[in-house]
Structure 1
């Protein structure tokens, strides 16, 4: 990396895979002499005098600025570039949650994703070209019925068990905690993306259309769904890998459950936090799955096609441990997950977030299997082990709190001849709890040779992100 360019990111209220409620969080901030609680309120309208019918709104925006070491043979807007600086909208959201009766609620989330100066919108150079006017679409749109509510509607007392039933475009996903991740409570600058097994292939930004149940049985939190995957129809080459083709129209089935040993979490929406600054002692162990028949297709010989199921399994552990004197607000956050993916013969996904580059036709050097820009091996048939750790250092200021973190992913894909290590290292700087967070991060990715399928180089990316949740 020749230069370091800073990334600036702003997140307002709800974001992508949101926090576990839409209400805006309230955090106390201290001055040097006394505690002054700053109440940012919430965008909520009561629909009756009792207050059990309401509508709540949220808005979010996340802006990225980056410095990227491009893969060899990259062209950006027709110009060869080894390094690219860019700006983009990672996520923008409008959310609406309404409780129409004590038993019935509606959740809507809409917005855009991944728009930068050259991608995410239209193509060309006209009014709707070179990344301009990104499409605005629904992320979540589902209705939910309380079969057994969390709290008794008549007495207000909590129920030991609860059960909810819903339908629509939703993200009550299976496989892992990270597959249900909140992006307003991430430990690092972003989530690794391979946690979503059909992201933007058979789903809509990790969502599918279908029915779901979720709830708690004592300390066991669970969610299960039956969905209709979005249609895919890629054609495989003779003797090549399996590709996404679910033309037979089979359903998908998914589920995830985790046991809570210490403090319990409230899952009002599907999104699970990955970082609560170790405010409470948490230890959760979970497992989940995603399966869909005839999800991919290969062509072993000329005009002979073979369908393959997508079968994904995940198992994980999540822990937050307060350490030392409570007044020091010190603690450790740990997460580790194992994924086993099976999409068919040598299936491989390659992707790069807000990728600014394309192939340079004049390049004569060694190209990477990943292609151009910041593309990386995302996932495929094989295994991935991902772990992250964060440590909130002892309190030294009434305003600033610091949390260094480290991510590591080990990917062992059947289509490759060498396992690959991916890592992120950085620190969170909190100015207003989870509501105002600056993230400084460096990421490193391996590059694979097209012929040998082994690693021949590494590239990096720098990030500085500011998160605001009002």
Structure 2
């Protein structure tokens, strides 16, 4: 494993400079203008993330090295005037040798809508929309853009109800968004899905909560999902035209935000008493976070730092993979090494997460050590990350991932 780590790091750090270029060539994706000033347009963005992953903590009959397409996506949006917008986002995730289909018709091989929403301008700095949307609550990371992560990928537990009340971190509902001075906000009122990642588990007498409220109690009793996120922007203001929060600006902005958010789902889970009676319990998730991203001088160096505290209440002793009733603290920091903007840039980073899991009365921890090589900003980059995770008294698991990303 040590030889593999050294070899992958060598490939990442010593890409020939002749292939490097600045990201100033990027002009906003493929855009079709319908008038001379460009106010009526259709814009399209395409991106792909490709993984090679090494994991030696697998059974003897399982390969330690695997390849996958982590994301293949196409996003488009259009405006005929400033009063309304239509957005469409579709693609696939985590396509690998285990879920490829012989003729491309298997479930994991299929493209599906990640988002489809319409939005109207109600007043200055106030908008309303509806559809399958990504205007999430809780935290900045629950609204992350997958195009410009600083770390290899998002902190998984920050997409706190992915597959439990939503479809792959997107809810079907209505939202409002806007700003008041330097305070930005987004609030939504949404349907919950009936078939959840927890649907194969049944409630048991005095057992853990099961995220099947809508299925077992009915849509009238299970209630809607209400969520919101609010962040105050002390320095440069970020765009809220689209919901996607930037992971790192590579020194191009000076941003310091403090945010807070929530998600509540009445009777989202069910529990069973000793007599076999089922009743609902509410899901409540709260978070506070801070984000800082700024250049450090005239030499091109920059720092990115983020921290969040999140309280997760999924009901009595809920524990399902990355989800669990308890608290979570997560943070990451990255340093962009000095260098000219039109050459390859290197950014080492560190991430750490610790969370309590009430169901097992123990903690889970994850440490990530990584490095980015930006050949054309985020539009062409390589990321190498070693992650070590441990849940409770179980064995720790170390995984090395090399990612290549292109987005146009």
User: For residues 243-268 of structure 1, what are the alpha-carbon distances to aligned partners after superposition, in whole Å with 9 as ceiling and x for unaligned?
Assistant: 11122321010000000001100111
| Counterpart selection for 2:188 from 225, 230, 234 | 225
User: For residues 3-59 of structure 1, what are the alpha-carbon distances to aligned partners after superposition, in whole Å with 9 as ceiling and x for unaligned?
Assistant: 637889xxxxxxxxxxxxxxxxxxxxx98xx99963566311122344321111222
Partner residue, 2:212: 245
| Counterpart selection for 1:463 from 386, 401, 405 | 401
User: For residues 359-379 of structure 1, what are the alpha-carbon distances to aligned partners after superposition, in whole Å with 9 as ceiling and x for unaligned?
Assistant: xxxxxxxxxxxxxxxxxxx12
| Counterpart selection for 1:191 from 154, 165, 185 | 154
Q: 3-state SS of the aligned residue for 2:395? A: strand
Partner residue, 1:369: none
Partner residue, 1:344: 315
CA distance in 1, matches of 2:28, 2:130: 30
Partner residue, 1:384: 328
Task: Find out whether 1:404 has 2:348 as its counterpart.
Answer: yes
Superposed CA RMSD: 2.6
Within-5 A mapping of 1:325-344? 326=298, 328-344=299-315
Q: 3-state SS of the aligned residue for 2:362? A: coil
- Post-superposition shift, 1:174? 0.2
TM-score (norm 1): 0.77
| Counterpart selection for 1:106 from 86, 98, 108 | 86
CA distance in 2, matches of 1:267, 1:252: 22
Shift of the 36–405 alpha-carbon distance from structure 1 to 2, 3 Å rule, reads: closer
User: For residues 200-236 of structure 1, what are the alpha-carbon distances to aligned partners after superposition, in whole Å with 9 as ceiling and x for unaligned?
Assistant: 2221110010000111111001100000011145521
Could you list the runs of 5+ residues in structure 1 that have no partner in the other structure?
A: 9-29, 150-161, 351-377, 448-453
| Counterpart selection for 2:120 from 125, 145, 148 | 145
Shift of the 37–428 alpha-carbon distance from structure 1 to 2, 3 Å rule, reads: closer
- Post-superposition shift, 1:310? 0.8
Q: 3-state SS of the aligned residue for 2:113? A: strand
Residues 43 and 56, structure 1, Cα contact 8 Å, conserved in 2:
yes
Partner residue, 2:14: none
Task: Give the number of equivalent residue pairs.
Answer: 389
CA distance in 1, matches of 2:230, 2:38: 32
Shift of the 437–290 alpha-carbon distance from structure 1 to 2, 3 Å rule, reads: same
Shift of the 35–112 alpha-carbon distance from structure 1 to 2, 3 Å rule, reads: closer
Task: Find out whether 1:283 has 2:270 as its counterpart.
Answer: no
TM-score (norm 2): 0.88
Shift of the 41–263 alpha-carbon distance from structure 1 to 2, 3 Å rule, reads: closer
Residue range with higher mean Cα deviation, 166-175 or 226-235: 226-235
CA distance in 2, matches of 1:395, 1:44: 31
Residues 173 and 189, structure 2, Cα contact 8 Å, conserved in 1:
yes
